[in-house]
Chain A
């Protein structure tokens, strides 16, 4: 009895299981999408990359264990556009904060939007790996460790990228 039970759990534990696959997808698809978007600034291509990566995962579901599934989809998505597409401008929206800002003076609002434009430009001017690291941390709330796993580098390297990203953003914005 015990044996069959353990066998059953093992069977349902593969990526081939519809539920397992769905949960892996729900947990990671958005980040894969963002990751590719931060890299190339192309929404359509990012969406395709998600599709491609997860279809590949499904096709190889027997060979990829659920623990490896995450890094598998990043690798596939990453390799998909390797040097193939030209990076575009990353266009990011700002969460609506109007409620808080309506009471502000027009000067302040103008200054604010000017700042945002500067930040946008500075983000786009960042090296690709610094931008990915910075945005994954800021927007997606990914820990340095997680980003390090995704990028396949050490946590220290991610800290370095983060530090440099912030530094160059300030330099750009403050016009140094």
Chain B
């Protein structure tokens, strides 16, 4: 018998003589039975189609895993966009100019980043940029304000009438319709008005009416009178005086038969309306009638 004859027998590789010899052996029946029985053996059920489907699902699962990452990526994208937008807005807003304004009969005190001070008179507005304040001290003014400028770089107050530039001083700028006045209380102020530069030393003021400089006068106060709740005028046309009254007391002013170009010198209280009306009407020899929120000025001889 050759080597591994049982394996050969199963594979039908035995020679005829060997086969006869094997079939005649006493073990043959047992082998025969084992082989027959084992031919009927079955392995556990295995559904290849199902298994293949499962693998495909697994593959698509790993695919969807990648897809599942996408919402997060999308979220990141959105988050990044929002972050950029927010920082952009932040920088935009922080670079936006600071704006402070007052209503009629209202004053405001503003402290700038370098401790310079601005006192804003009634119905006025200042605009400045907080950013780079130390190197760029620029203020835009509408109305009237008193400045106490801390020493430092050039400090500029721009108005639509003229520009005031200083280094460190105290001064008042009034810019009303057709009326421009700068008063220097300390240090030196340079005023450029209509392309002409004027240096105002302490105690001087510049008044321009309707685009023309009408006076450069000496002042002997240390702060504008309105800081002390008083409006004072020196040879100023009555109409600007009345405008100022309207701003300070929030009372609408009407005139009848009076020349508002008359010059007025004097002052009125910013707190007591009755007293202020007296202060205006008496020296100008005009009369007034106060009715609630309105006051009518009229000529003495018209009635």
Contacts and interface: CB of A to CB of B under 8 A. Distances in A.
Of A55, A140, A170, the most chain B CB neighbours within 10 A belong to A170
Contact of A119 (B4, B31, B34, B46): B34
Contacts of A134: 38
A162 interface: yes
A25 B55 contact: yes
Contacts of B34: 119, 166, 169-170, 173
Interface stretch (A27-35, A63-71, A76-84): A27-35
Given A138-B41, A174-B30, A51 B46 contact: no
Contacts of B35: 138, 166
Contacts of A162: 4, 6-7, 10
Interface residues of chain A: helix, strand, loop or mixed (majority): helix
A25 B8 contact: no
A33 B48 CA distance: 10
Contact of B48 (A26, A43, A95, A139): A26
Nearest to B39: A138
Nearest to A58: B59
Contact of A55 (B31, B42, B59): B59
Contacts of A93: 41-42, 44
A116 to B, nearest CB: 6
B38 A51 contact: no
A173 B30 contact: yes
Nearest to B28: A170
Interface in B31-79: 31, 33-35, 37-44, 46, 48, 51-52, 54-55, 58-59
A97 B39 CA distance: 11
Nearest to A120: B41
Nearest to B54: A51
B27 interface: yes
A30 B55 contact: no
B44 A159 contact: no
Interface in B10-28: 10-11, 27
A90 B13 CA distance: 30
A119 B38 CA distance: 8
B46 A139 contact: no
B40 to A, nearest CB: 5
A144 interface: yes
A50 interface: yes
A26 B52 contact: yes
Contacts of A50: 46, 51
A137 interface: yes
Nearest to A156: B4
Nearest to B37: A119
Interface in B247-291: none
A92 interface: yes
A144 to B, nearest CB: 7
Contacts of A54: 55
Given A25-B52, A50-B51, A54-B55, A166 B7 contact: yes
Interface string A95-132: 10100000000000000000110010000000000000
B6 A116 contact: no
A170 B30 contact: yes
A163 interface: yes
A22 interface: yes
B5 interface: yes
Nearest to A174: B30
8 closest Cβ contacts across the A-B interface?
A162-B7, A163-B4, A159-B7, A159-B4, A166-B6, A163-B6, A138-B38, A93-B42
Interface of A: 22, 25-26, 29-30, 33-34, 37-38, 43, 46-47, 50-51, 54-55, 58, 91-95, 97, 115-116, 119, 134-135, 137-140, 144, 156, 158-160, 162-163, 166-167, 169-170, 173-174
Interface of B: 3-8, 10-11, 27, 30-31, 33-35, 37-44, 46, 48, 51-52, 54-55, 58-59
